Amino acid sequence: MTQHWSAPGASGPVHSTVPVPGSKSITNRVLVLAALADGPSTVHAPLRSRDTVLMAAALSSLGVGFADREDGGWDVTPGALRGPADVDCGLAGTVMRFLPPAAALAEGEIRFDGDPHARLRPMSTVLGALRALGADVEGGALPFTLHGRGSVPGGEVTIDASSSSQFVSGLLLSAARYDKGVTIRHDGKPVPSLPHIDMTVQTLRSVGVEVDAGTANTWRVEPGVIKARTWHVEPDLSNATVFLAAAAVTGGEVTIPHWPATTTQPGDAVRGILERMGCEVEVSERGLTVRGPAKLSGVDIDLHDESELTPTVAALAALAEGRTTIRGVAHIRGHETDRIAALVNEVNALGGTATETEDGLVIDPAPLHGGVWKAYADHRMATAGAIIGLVVPGVEVDDIGSTTKTIPDFPGMWDAMLTGGA
């Protein structure tokens, strides 16, 4: 059931320090690698949200041991992967695309399904690739079934990953356990969100996996051992952008502690985006601090590699002076919802002026008013409505519960930020 939520308005400039939970993207990559490693691993500071709990539950159903730690982390003990098992993917792209290549190494039948909208998300690329690599897969989208034989031959495969970088990452994560390793060649329009593939490659190399990514649109993983290790998960920078946006739209100041000095997370790009829109951005021992301007400026920006930031940037744009054009994000039509259409619909429903383009959207300044902001069961749509509600009275988000996908208690964190207590 959806949970309507009256977005709280800011009584003045927001001033707060907001600790942000671990990265969903890193957590779910780490969980897959820990499950396939040569011994037990420890994961410190993982994100505990719907997407990551679904991943842990799915791996557990295949025979992987998970023990809760007092510090909120997990001790992960690999086991012989086996079915039968039923995997609930929810609406998590990382579960529905990262887990099947690992599950193909199991013995037995593994059935995958998820939320109703998950059945509409593109899956044929990764499932077709698994067939080409020697796996037995029945179906081309959720629900589908893997008939595991305990191993996968592997080899070379050509795919079109222009709709999601997760297709590449999902195959890479398990490739070292395939008999011949895997060589992936992309043939199509540019792969979106390349930083996420860089994240996958870096994570694989940290556990001793040999990855050759030196040729454009080609990735080669040699067969070999995935080493067990202790992990420390970075804060989720994409989730952090929502709280930084609160400083931007209210002329306040928000600090995110423990911002990494170097990272492969695409969310790090928010620093440059906010500066272009008129904010002051500072990295110090305290973390990343953003100070908002008297008025935000519109921007013309290509978010192809940082497309997950589109809802946050669109919310900022709806409150800015001057036109904002967001380009390069055609692929987000296949995310939790068609995010381009959803953003245009909801900005316009509150009195804004937004139009779709072939690969993005254009937002022109217009006075906004209160009303229902629809989330479309999409966590980033929900948080975009919360940003607008800070300065536009009467905004109501129709499904704030969707934020549990990546933030366990978004309303609580939002309220704490507004009172300076986060």
Binding site per annotation, positions for 3-phosphoshikimate: 24-25, 29, 164-166, 193, 308, 335
Q: Distance between CA atoms of 149 and 382, rounded to whole angstroms?
A: 41
- List the catalytic residue out of 308, 321, 336, 396: 308
Q: CA separation (Å) from 237 to 24, 160, 184, 241, 263? A: 10, 28, 28, 6, 10
Q: Does 84 sit behind a cis peptide bond, omega within 30 degrees of 0 on the bond before it?
A: yes
What gap in Å lies between CA 220 and CA 167, rounded to an integer? 14
For the sheet containing 287-291, what is the strand order?
A: 15-17, 253-256, 287-291, 280-284
Of 209, 218, 111, the closest CA to residue 156 belongs to 218
Q: How far out from the chain centre does Cα 283 lie?
A: 23
- State the Cα–Cα distance between residues 226 and 27, nearest whole angstrom: 16
396 CB neighbour count, 10 Å cutoff: 16
Distance CA 160, CA 313 (A): 28
Binding-site sequence positions for phosphoenolpyruvate: 24, 93, 121, 166, 339, 380, 405
Beta strands 287-291 and 85-88: pairing type?
Answer: unpaired
The amino acid that residue 175 corresponds to is A
- Cα distance between residue 310 and residue 413, in whole Å: 21
CA atoms within 13 A on the CB side of 413: 23
Decide: 137 and 145 in contact? Cβ < 8 Å: yes
**Strands 107-113 and 85-88, bridge-based pairing:** parallel
Instruction: Please indicate whether residue 308 is annotated as part of the active site.
Output: yes
Q: Which residues are catalytic?
A: 308
